[in-house]
Structure 1
Amino acid sequence: MHPMLKPALRRAWRDRQTVQFGITPAQAVVVSPVDPATGHFLEMLDGTQGLPFLYERARALDLPPGQVDELVARLTAAGVVDDPTAGGPAADALRNRSDALERLRPDLASLSLIHPEPGDAARRLAGRRAIRVQVRGAGRVGATIAAVLSGSGVGRVDVLDGGVAQPGDVAPGGLPERAVGERRATAAGQLVRRTAPGGPPRQGRGAERAPLSLIVVAPREALDVYAPNAADAEDWIGAGTPHLYAGVVETTGVVGPLVLPGGTGCAGCLSLGRTERDPDWPRLLAQWRSGRQRTAVPACDLALATAVAGLAAGHALAFLDGDLPASTGSRWEASLPRLDWRSTPIEAHRDCFCGAVGNTQGEQVSGPAGPHDTMAR
């Protein structure tokens, strides 16, 4: 092990014997008591030295190996120590690609705080490179989501959409102005390749048939995200492919639900539940979906679209890294001008074909709200 105090955690002394790692309540850890010798030893934990060498340096401070082991173990358990040599072969391969690693260092630092085990952040970040995601939609929301996922290290991001890019599709972080007039799918594919750290990985034979880890449904047609068609998701449900909805309708941004087939409420559950609450809903929906009801220029505020894309990409990455984000089985909405995000659970419906009734994969567990103490000496 090469112990390293996590660079993402700033240190400050509360008093002469108490040091705090981290600023926010979500990350702050207080270590006490810390004598002067231990304080000097903490400065040596920079990841460049293994434990045998650290034992030798600690002896000059009158710190025996047993005390060093106890200190490192307590700091590791508190989540403030990483190991820049851990994480397995995939992490080693990422470290050897210095161009990609330098781009992703801020992401690695963030992951090291979310996943505290030494080497776990590097393993998860490197694991993204083997993941395949499909984004359905290349408008202001979808193209930006695809770019963020690719820029965050996801190895393969396929974007599906029809038609050619319009001036209104252009967005910072999404399709550039020069894409106007190009096929949307082609322009989005170029965007994904440009944003990939170190360039996209080479695709071997059969890459097109690699299983999808996630589908992000971000259609330019607002109704297709606000009231998604259950028939469109039948194949995804049947194949067990998780999918996440995101988009903008009028002045409301929508993220979710993230559907885990057979485990959480799906588009069909959403439709059935809405119809029970409002029997006129199907009639209204049919009128809005008719060709006569389509608006020439749908409302899509740029700042709201960017916020939706960022939140959706964050939820997608959390899921791909092995967690259940808050959109699992829930829909998050925010409307202009207040942008107050609110969550509504999407209950599994007894009459839906998805079979999710009785499952609880979408339940969330809240963590501690403040800093915790760890005794080290």
Structure 2
Amino acid sequence: MHPTLKPALRRGWRDMSTMQFGVAPAHALVLGPMDTATGSFLTLLDGTRGLPLLGEEARRMGLPDGHVDKLLTELSRAGLLDDATGGGPAAEALRKRSGVMDRLRSDLASLSLLSSEPGEAVERLAARRAMRVRVQGAGRVGAVVASVLAGAGVGRVEVLDGGHVEPWDVAPGGLPAEAIGERRDTTARRLVRQSAPDRPPRANRPASPGSQAAPLAAWQASAAEGQAGLSLVIIAPRDGLDAYAPDPLHAEGLLSAGTPHLYAGVVEGTGVVGPLVLPGATACAGCLFRQRADRDPTWGRMLAQWRSGRARPVPACDLALSTSVAGLVAGHALAFLDGTSMAASGVRWEASVPGFDWHARPVWPHPACPCGAGADAKKDVKGDRLTAAGERHATMAG
């Protein structure tokens, strides 16, 4: 082990015996009491020294025997310690690709804030290379999502869409202006290749999202085999109505294969992210439809009219809003793949121009939906709110 303090956190003395790690409250910690000699010793925790050498340095500084071991234990318990050589064989292979590591160093620093064990962050980062994600839709949202996931180290990012690039598809970080008139899928795949820090690894047995640390580990292990090894499908249609009110029929294959999928899009100046569907465990598109139809008996009739009406040639897809949606859905997708969060499961996030005020709307498993997620709630329904499985998934959604 080569201990290193997590570089993402700035540190400073609050007083003569108390040190603060981190600036923002979400990840800041205060440790004390701490003497100045120990504070000086912390500068040696930079990943270049193993434990024996650190012990020798401590003795030269006059620190008592056992002090270093106790200090490292406390730092590790506080989640402030990393291991410059940890993470296993995949992490070691990634570290040897110095150019790739340099591209991903900021992502690694961010992951370290969510990882309590030394070496865990680089293990998660290396695990991304073995994952396969499909983005369905290459408009202003989908193309940006695909480029972000590829740039963040996801090994295989596929993009599916039809037609040709229109001027209103162009977005910074997404499809470029010079691609207008080209096939959308071809252009999006080129964008993914350009965004990735490395060539995708050879196809292997797919890794489950989040490796060993992921929640619902048993479910994910089997789901990883669904759809020929897809870890996640992101449904980001150019027509935002298909994200706001997705057709359950279009997701039947994903549900039957046990493939996790996440909805995102923009419809008439409103951005939506979610729900993240864990087949058989959280609410799906069918649950979403039934929940809305319970509240509004005309919902099915209105949807039929909207879907069968003349397609709008140009969508109301504000560039700033679509970029915000793409960033949020990519963040939720990576958190799920890394096993650090499922905040989009059982919930849909919405924001509209001009306020961009994101708020969460719960999506409960519906007892009448054949997806099975609402099976535990069939005997306990109050209005349109499920008080059994629904509340459990609300807790999972944070």
| TM-score normalised to structure 2 length | 0.89
* Aligned AA (2:66): G
Cα displacement (A) at 1:22:
0.6
Which residue number in structure 2 is paired with residue 121 of structure 1?
121
Cα displacement (A) at 1:325:
2.9
Distance in 1 separating the partners of 2:152 and 2:163: 27
Q: Choose which of 273, 277, 287 in structure 2 pairs with 1:255.
A: 273
Alignment of 1:1-377 (within 5 A): 1-203=1-203, 210-292=228-310, 294-357=311-374, 358=376, 359=389, 360-361=392-393, 363-364=395-396
* Aligned AA (1:346): V
Judge conservation of contact 2:79–2:117 (CA < 8 Å) in 1: yes
Cα displacement (A) at 1:35:
1.2
Judge conservation of contact 2:226–2:258 (CA < 8 Å) in 1: no
Greater Cα offset, 52-61 or 243-252: 52-61
Judge conservation of contact 2:3–2:82 (CA < 8 Å) in 1: yes
1:141-196 deviations in Å (ceiling 9; x for gaps): 00000000000000000100011111111100001112111111110000000000
Cα displacement (A) at 1:362:
5.5
* Aligned AA (1:227): A
Cα displacement (A) at 1:64:
3.1
Judge conservation of contact 1:147–1:173 (CA < 8 Å) in 2: yes
Q: Tell me, what secondary structure is at the counterpart of 2:162?
A: coil
Note the residue ranges of structure 2 that are not aligned, 5 or more in a row. Answer: 207-224, 377-388
* Aligned AA (1:297): V
Q: Tell me, what secondary structure is at the counterpart of 1:344?
A: strand
Cα displacement (A) at 1:210:
4.0
* Aligned AA (1:232): H
Q: Classify 1:208/1:73 alpha carbon distance in 2 versus 1 (closer, same or farther; 3 Å).
A: closer
Number of residue-to-residue matches in the alignment: 365
Judge conservation of contact 1:132–1:210 (CA < 8 Å) in 2: no
Q: Classify 1:131/1:167 alpha carbon distance in 2 versus 1 (closer, same or farther; 3 Å).
A: same
Q: Tell me, what secondary structure is at the counterpart of 2:66?
A: helix
Judge conservation of contact 2:132–2:157 (CA < 8 Å) in 1: yes
Q: Classify 1:51/1:91 alpha carbon distance in 2 versus 1 (closer, same or farther; 3 Å).
A: same
Distance in 2 separating the partners of 1:23 and 1:122: 23
Judge conservation of contact 1:263–1:362 (CA < 8 Å) in 2: no
Distance in 2 separating the partners of 1:177 and 1:41: 53
How much is the aligned-residue C-alpha RMSD, in angstroms?
Answer: 1.8
Distance in 1 separating the partners of 2:151 and 2:305: 40
Distance in 1 separating the partners of 2:143 and 2:373: 31
Judge conservation of contact 1:264–1:362 (CA < 8 Å) in 2: no
Distance in 2 separating the partners of 1:205 and 1:95: 22
1:196-239 deviations in Å (ceiling 9; x for gaps): 01233345799997410000000001211011000111111111
* Aligned AA (1:260): L
Distance in 2 separating the partners of 1:296 and 1:4: 55
Distance in 2 separating the partners of 1:228 and 1:150: 25
Judge conservation of contact 1:246–1:256 (CA < 8 Å) in 2: yes
Distance in 2 separating the partners of 1:162 and 1:105: 35
Q: Classify 1:127/1:65 alpha carbon distance in 2 versus 1 (closer, same or farther; 3 Å).
A: farther
Q: Tell me, what secondary structure is at the counterpart of 2:230?
A: coil
Judge conservation of contact 1:324–1:362 (CA < 8 Å) in 2: no
Distance in 1 separating the partners of 2:291 and 2:237: 22
Distance in 2 separating the partners of 1:277 and 1:296: 31
Distance in 2 separating the partners of 1:190 and 1:208: 26
Greater Cα offset, 221-230 or 32-41: 32-41
* Aligned AA (1:81): L
Higher relative contact order (CA 8 A, sep 6+): 1
Distance in 2 separating the partners of 1:33 and 1:16: 9
| Percent of aligned positions that are identical | 62
| TM-score normalised to structure 1 length | 0.94
1:282-312 deviations in Å (ceiling 9; x for gaps): 11111111143x2121110000000000000
Distance in 2 separating the partners of 1:284 and 1:35: 69
Q: Classify 1:45/1:205 alpha carbon distance in 2 versus 1 (closer, same or farther; 3 Å).
A: closer
1:318-361 deviations in Å (ceiling 9; x for gaps): 00001333211100000111111110110101110100013445
* Aligned AA (1:290): S
Greater Cα offset, 63-72 or 121-130: 63-72
Q: Tell me, what secondary structure is at the counterpart of 2:13?
A: strand
Q: Tell me, what secondary structure is at the counterpart of 1:257?
A: strand
